[in-house]
Structure 1
Amino acid sequence: MLTNLDPTALTRMTTTADLAVLIIDGKSVRGSRTRDHQAVHLLAAMTPTAHVAAQIRVADKTSEIPALADVLDGLDIEGSVISADALHTQTDTAQHLVSERKAHYVLTVKRNQPTLFDQVKALPWAKAPALLTETRRAHGRVERRTVKVLTAPRIAFPHTAQALRVHRWVKELATGRVRRTYTYVITSLPAERADTARLAGLVRGHWRIEALHHVRDVSFGEDASRVRTGHGPQNMAMLRNLVIPLLAELGHTSIPEAVRWVSYEAFSRPLGLLGLA
């Protein structure tokens, strides 16, 4: 049945009404690859709580870049904040979101846009105060994030109102090894709409959604799934996306433990999660 079910209809059944922040997230379903066809690649618009607002299949031999407009088509995103990774840091995308859809963007800047990256990296970060520092100790390491923000940066990218730099300092407790990385982000949100704390929260939200790839692969075996025909890969991914926030809303902090909990009453608990029992 799932191979024939229209994915658009399934998405409408599971979508959320809260579109204030949408994170664009792409993922290939590696197990769907065959000798004659490449793996199905999906692009989703998700909330920070992992609810799926829309999901589409990216056409073969194309990329996520033009598909961003397609996945947002049909959603009322006026005033929404759209967060996307560096692949989508494109002038056409920024113009589409701000000028045409009346939304705001939060975009990561990496070396795939070398001129823009050099401009953002060269901003006077040394003179900017460290407005937010967070320290976290978990998983055998200590991580410290320091956030700096510059308003009205002079860079050649449309509608940019602020630039943000996240310095991540990570120490592995077992080995003492220290890693330092810098992440650069630009946004069309003005300072009065997004202070440092909010911008840092938007960046963290994007990282959390990207971390769900591991959950989908390890706890739900997405890449190992042999569902290949019709709409099966897309619909199965949609159902996995549906389950993750439902389990979180029930208070489960460990997805593997939550999956085991459901399996103890495999016929009744899934229906209860969906409000059908």
Structure 2
Amino acid sequence: MAVVADPRDPRGIRYPLASMLATAVCAVMAGACTFAAMADWVRDLDPPAWVKLGFTGKLPVPSTLWRLLTRVDDTELSVVVTRWVRARTASVPVSGRRWRRVIAIDGKVLRGAKLPDGRQVHLLSAFDTSTGTVLAYVQIAVKSNEIPAFTPLLDLVAAQLGSLEAIVFVADALHAQTAHAREVASRGAYLMVAVKANQPTVFAQLKSLPWAQVPVGDRRTDTGHGRRETRTVKAVTVATPGGLGFPHAEQAVRITRTRTVKGKTTREMAYLTVSLPAEDAQPVDLGAWARSEWHIENRLHWVLDVTFREDAHQARTGTGPAVASVLRHAAINYHRSNGEANIARATRRANRRSNDLIDAVTSSYTTTQ
């Protein structure tokens, strides 16, 4: 934490920067959802725990912690904390010849947070579906959208992983952009993206393919929560002159989802392109990668809203909204690195075992739990 730039005036510093930031990180890992809750968490600890965090004598009042967290550089803090969590995360076992790291990209609006002009804060995140951790995020610029933030997000992911070689990025139809496809390919990675009416030419081409003549490549049926869903995957390599009208697209994919809920059956079709050839991406792989796009919704956004009440947090000053999001991401990443599937339960356990949590965060031994 000490490598993060200190935004405070040196003449008024009373508490070490690393101690303040470690306090915020630990508090959110223990379930604190607001800046006030972070301050309450540290004040409820015993004196030996205060010493471990670097406080001797006095503790910072809530306003002191709040002033720091609304001024610190959120991007720098995110890089430092994510690098720390990745250093203590066990490597993912590789299984199968075609195994690839799949990273889902999607945006989320922090509904309770506001910017000075009244706009809501909007973040674009990269989620590693194999480890369930957030690798990086970019805050959407004023009067903009997710599209210009795509390349800066790739830069941050590359900085964390060292290279994007052979990684598969999955995204929704908003990112079916020719510039995105070329950028991903230039870095040695691959893009699997849904195509809708925002790319009318490619969408029409995909729909007009002779799908009735394409054999079913994979079919899976799941049941649960009163619903039965069957997903049928068809994939075809377009060998006509010019191929698909989308850069680096190797295969056209159609996924048919048939759902039956309370006796009522609905069917929808999704069209996608992927920049991997058939020998490296079979229909069973394509179906799994398409479903992994929803991991960022189910395993990240849902947890942020339900467990950490992100949409209810009305952080509106300086970098406060983004810093609060960084701390929540760090908490999820930390608990997932410990093999926790239920983040809510993990935060409750961490709160009951505050000393163990502080030891894990302040120790230089990467495997301390």
Q: TM-score, normalised by structure 2?
A: 0.68
Match of 1:233 in 2: 321
**1:58 CA drift (Å):** 0.9
SS of corresponding position for 2:142: coil
Match of 2:70 in 1: 3
Match of 2:48 in 1: none
CA distance in 1, matches of 2:192, 2:105: 10
CA distance in 1, matches of 2:353, 2:143: 40
**1:246 CA drift (Å):** 3.7
Greater relative CO (CA pairs within 8 A, separation 6+): 2
CA distance in 1, matches of 2:165, 2:355: 40
1:211-222 mapped onto 2 (5 Å cutoff)? 211=298, 212-222=300-310
Of Structure 1 and Structure 2, the greater strand share is in 1
Work out which of the two has the higher radius of gyration on C-alpha atoms and give 1 or 2.
2
User: Counterpart of 1:102 in structure 2: which amino acid?
Assistant: G
1:142-181 mapped onto 2 (5 Å cutoff)? 142-152=228-238, 154-172=243-261, 175-181=262-268
1:30-109 mapped onto 2 (5 Å cutoff)? 30-33=111-114, 36-48=117-129, 49-74=131-156, 75=158, 76-98=163-185, 100-109=186-195
Does the 8 Å contact 2:115/2:121 carry over to 1? no
For residues 42-69 of structure 1, the C-alpha deviation after alignment (integer angstroms, 9 at most, x for no partner) is: 1112211332222111101011111100
SS of corresponding position for 1:220: coil
CA distance in 2, matches of 1:42, 1:31: 13
Q: 1:122 to 1:38 in 2, by over 3 A?
A: same
Does the 8 Å contact 1:50/1:241 carry over to 2? no
User: Counterpart of 1:50 in structure 2: which amino acid?
Assistant: G
Q: 1:147 to 1:72 in 2, by over 3 A?
A: same
1:188 pairs with 2:255: no
Does the 8 Å contact 2:133/2:336 carry over to 1? no
Match of 1:242 in 2: 330
1:26 pairs with 2:107: yes
Of Structure 1 and Structure 2, the greater helix share is in 2
Does the 8 Å contact 2:227/2:260 carry over to 1? yes
Q: TM-score, normalised by structure 1?
A: 0.88
Does the 8 Å contact 1:168/1:180 carry over to 2? yes
Does the 8 Å contact 2:237/2:278 carry over to 1? yes
For residues 35-93 of structure 1, the C-alpha deviation after alignment (integer angstroms, 9 at most, x for no partner) is: 73301111112211332222111101011111100111251213322221110101111
CA distance in 2, matches of 1:233, 1:146: 41
For residues 212-234 of structure 1, the C-alpha deviation after alignment (integer angstroms, 9 at most, x for no partner) is: 32221122111110112122211
CA distance in 1, matches of 2:182, 2:198: 19
Does the 8 Å contact 1:246/1:273 carry over to 2? no
Match of 2:226 in 1: 140
User: Counterpart of 1:53 in structure 2: which amino acid?
Assistant: L
Q: 1:148 to 1:275 in 2, by over 3 A?
A: farther
Does the 8 Å contact 1:143/1:170 carry over to 2? yes
CA distance in 1, matches of 2:221, 2:362: 39
Unaligned runs of 5+ in 1: none
Q: 1:125 to 1:21 in 2, by over 3 A?
A: same
SS of corresponding position for 1:31: strand
Q: Identity of paired residues, percent?
A: 40
For residues 83-132 of structure 1, the C-alpha deviation after alignment (integer angstroms, 9 at most, x for no partner) is: 2111010111111221x323211111112222221111111211111111
Q: 1:231 to 1:126 in 2, by over 3 A?
A: same
**1:249 CA drift (Å):** 4.8
Does the 8 Å contact 2:105/2:296 carry over to 1? no
Match of 2:79 in 1: 12
Larger displacement relative to structure 2 (5-14 or 52-61): 5-14
Q: 1:124 to 1:246 in 2, by over 3 A?
A: farther
Q: Give the root-mean-square deviation of aligned CA atoms.
A: 2.4
In the alignment, which of 260, 274, 285 is matched to residue 198 of structure 1? Answer: 285
Match of 1:118 in 2: 204
User: Counterpart of 2:304 in structure 1: which amino acid?
Assistant: R
